[in-house]
């Protein structure tokens, strides 16, 4: 038990807000006849079908070990939020939960992430837990022939002929060995996800990928910004891609991907960064302190590399549940002529 007091406080508070009548139970009264708010230990024992006193031991942190198998039914009865579920498992085990209570949490991305994509000048996109593309910027769309962005990035990387033969240079040697273990790990972590299950089935039937999928591979669970891989950019030609991944909190399994593209020689690995920071990594420029969201990003004051395309002002719910087209800076030139690379391409 990592934090017994915090666990007990969380569960006590959660029990108090659940009306027993909503679960078909009779509210209890204290010795003075006053109604006791919420569920009692006896209510929980009955709902869980556990032996007498077991729930009390759990809430007080008296069991020798507490696993997610024990905590899961408690969390569902008490209707814990995803924040509370994460905290409950963390207090009990010292580790974050392996899965969310609500599987839909891995498919909806909060809308502010759209602005991150819009204000980033290099290729960037967000995918959900099954690699379905949720949002991307214009620079990312320029990577693909005819700017045809795939609906599912993992399916495209593993099974699309154009990805194998053109875009992902040295696909078999540089890309495939790092993609297969990621899919295998995602399926193991999300066994009920239909998109992942169908992708796994299609991969197993593929004569090339299926053989690799059924064999031992490197245990590469998540992408790391550790080395550049060869990439054939549809407009810029052959170069190197460094994949920088981040996981948006609150979107289990989702990924925010930054693809750094370099032409010429393969980038030489540089030493990692450590605290303390010694100042901003970007040079100070006029307007770099504009935090209104209308000008260039303070984090990356360079002009956008990608073409603007359609307006990035998406309509709909607060989250980004679907792949809707590139997000671009407001007022961006639809031809992307504000990019130094675009100017070079036009001149040539």
- Cα separation of 294 and 118, whole Å? 11
- Cα separation of 290 and 96, whole Å? 37
- CATH assignment of the domain containing 48: 1.10.260.40
* 297 has pLDDT over 60: no
Looking at the structure, do residues 156 and 304 belong to the same domain, yes or no? yes
Percent of the chain with pLDDT over 70: 79
Q: Is residue 143 part of a domain?
A: yes
Cβ atoms of 101 and 85 closer than 8 Å: yes
* 245 has pLDDT over 80: yes
**Hunting for tokens 């299950």 — which residue is that?**
197
Domain count, the chain: 2
Mean pLDDT of 291-300: 44
Q: Which of 312, 302, 309 is nearest to 335 (CA)?
A: 309
Instruction: Give pLDDT tens digits for 320-330.
Output: 655 557 876 65
What was the pLDDT predicted at 250? 75
Check residue 97 and report its DSSP letter. Answer: -
List phi, psi (to 5°) of 69: -65, -35
In this structure, the strands spanning 133-137 and 326-327 are parallel
- Give the pair of three-digit tokens for residue 312: 């990035």
What was the pLDDT predicted at 58? 95
| Res. 339 pLDDT band, cuts 50 70 90 | very low
Looking at the structure, do residues 75 and 218 belong to the same domain, yes or no? no
Domain boundary among 101, 123, 151: 101
- Cα separation of 274 and 98, whole Å? 29
* 306 has pLDDT over 70: no
Sign of the alpha-carbon dihedral angle for 279, 282, 285, 287: negative
Task: Establish how many alpha carbons lie within 13 A of residue 11's alpha carbon, considering only the half-sphere containing its beta carbon.
Answer: 27
Q: Which of 330, 124, 161 is nearest to 241 (CA)?
A: 124
Looking at the structure, do residues 131 and 261 belong to the same domain, yes or no? yes
Instruction: Give pLDDT tens digits for 140-198.
Output: 999 999 999 999 999 999 999 999 999 999 999 999 999 999 999 999 888 888 999 99
Higher pLDDT pick, 202 / 300: 202
Looking at the structure, do residues 110 and 214 belong to the same domain, yes or no? yes
Looking at the structure, do residues 132 and 75 belong to the same domain, yes or no? no
Task: Establish how many alpha carbons lie within 13 A of residue 1's alpha carbon, considering only the half-sphere containing its beta carbon.
Answer: 15
Host domain of residue 64 = 4-101
Instruction: Give pLDDT tens digits for 249-266.
Output: 778 788 999 999 999 999
Domain boundary among 101, 136, 163: 101
Instruction: Give pLDDT tens digits for 114-142.
Output: 999 998 999 999 999 999 999 999 999 99
Q: Is residue 275 part of a domain?
A: no
């Amino acid at each position: 038990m990592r934090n017994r007091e915090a666990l007990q406080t969380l569960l006590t508070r959660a029990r108090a807000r659940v009306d027993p009548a909503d679960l078909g139970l009779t509210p209890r009264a204290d010795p003075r006849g006053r109604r006791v708010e919420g569920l009692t230990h006896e209510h929980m024992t009955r709902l869980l079908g556990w032996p007498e006193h077991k729930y009390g031991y759990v809430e007080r942190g008296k069991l020798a070990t507490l696993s997610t198998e024990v905590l899961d039914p408690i969390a569902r009865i008490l209707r814990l939020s995803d924040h509370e579920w994460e905290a409950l498992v963390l207090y009990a085990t010292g580790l974050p939960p392996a899965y969310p209570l609500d599987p839909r949490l891995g498919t909806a991305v909060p809308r502010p992430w759209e602005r991150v994509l819009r204000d980033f000048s290099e290729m960037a996109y967000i995918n959900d837990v099954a690699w379905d593309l949720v949002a991307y910027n214009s620079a990312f769309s320029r990577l693909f022939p005819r700017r045809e962005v795939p609906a599912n990035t993992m399916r495209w990387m593993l099974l699309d002929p154009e990805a194998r033969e053109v875009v992902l240079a040295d696909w078999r040697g540089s890309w495939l060995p790092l993609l297969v273990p990621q899919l295998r790990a995602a399926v193991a972590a999300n066994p009920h996800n239909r998109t992942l299950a169908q992708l796994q089935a299609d991969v197993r039937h593929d004569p090339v990928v299926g053989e690799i999928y059924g064999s031992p591979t490197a245990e590469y669970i998540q992408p790391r910004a550790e080395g550049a891989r060869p990439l054939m950019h549809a407009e810029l030609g052959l170069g190197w891609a460094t994949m920088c991944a981040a996981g948006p909190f609150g979107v289990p399994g989702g990924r925010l991907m930054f693809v750094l593209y370099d032409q010429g020689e393969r980038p030489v690995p540089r030493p990692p960064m450590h605290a303390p920071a010694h100042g901003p990594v970007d040079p100070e420029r006029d307007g770099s302190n504009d935090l209104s969201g209308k000008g260039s990003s303070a984090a990356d004051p360079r002009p956008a590399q990608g073409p603007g395309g359609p307006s990035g002002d998406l309509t709909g719910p607060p989250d980004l549940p679907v792949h809707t087209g590139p997000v671009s800076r407001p007022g961006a030139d639809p031809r992307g002529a504000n990019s130094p690379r675009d100017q070079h391409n036009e001149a040539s």
